[in-house]
Amino acid sequence: MLTFNINGKDHPLEVPGDMPLLWVLRDVAHLTGTKFGCGMAQCGACTVNVDGAPLRSCITPAAAVASGQKILTIEGLSSDGSHPVQRAWAEIDVVQCGYCQSGQIMSTVALLAKIPAPTDSDIDQALSGNLCRCGTYPRIRAAVKRAADLGEA
């Protein structure tokens, strides 16, 4: 039995320690907002934040994050879209197919917690590991700035 602190709540779960965190979240905790992309930490679709830092959940063993570290997934931002980053994403109408976007948003949340008013280069650097096959990068950059204006920190 491993206990995971997910979105502010402890979840004792019967999972093997080497199970990828992404499987724990999607298949065991039924939090399916985090996506499987490449499975090799190359695309960023599976990004969640652990103790405030973005982490690729597809290659992270469950046991590595089951000791009281705070795991934040897209579901933990808000259920009604009221989180500043979610609001900015909706205002700018960022999403195309949507597959990469929970990862983009989680990387943005981590960035804004560290740098509340990021420059273009801060944004490009922080989100360089989050690929978007639809090419929404200009809208993502605008939405990060809009989220910064809306007061995410």
Cβ at position 146, least distance to ligand FES in Å? 17
Terminal CA-to-CA distance of the chain, rounded, Å? Answer: 34
Residue 142 as a binder of ligand FES (CB under 6 A): the answer is no
Binders of ligand FES among residues 30 to 49 (CB under 6 A) are none
Interface with ligand FES: number of residues (CB under 6 A): 11
Instruction: In the chain, count H helices and then E strands.
Output: 5, 5
Q: How far apart are CA 41 and CA 47, in angstroms?
A: 9
Q: Strand, helix or coil at 99?
A: coil
Residue 128 as a binder of ligand FES (CB under 6 A): the answer is no
Stretch that binds ligand FES, among 14-22, 46-54, 58-66, 97-105 (CB under 6 A): 97-105
In the set 39, 99, 124, 141, which binds ligand FES (CB under 6 A)?
99
Alpha helices in 8-136 (DSSP H): 21-23, 84-92, 101-114, 120-126
Stretch that binds ligand FES, among 19-27, 28-36, 120-128, 132-140 (CB under 6 A): 132-140
**121 Cβ contact list (under 8 Å, min separation 6):** none
In the set 19, 61, 96, 124, which binds ligand FES (CB under 6 A)?
96
Cβ at position 129, least distance to ligand FES in Å? 13
DSSP designation for 129:
T
Q: Which residues bind ligand FES (CB under 6 A)?
A: 95-101, 132-134, 136
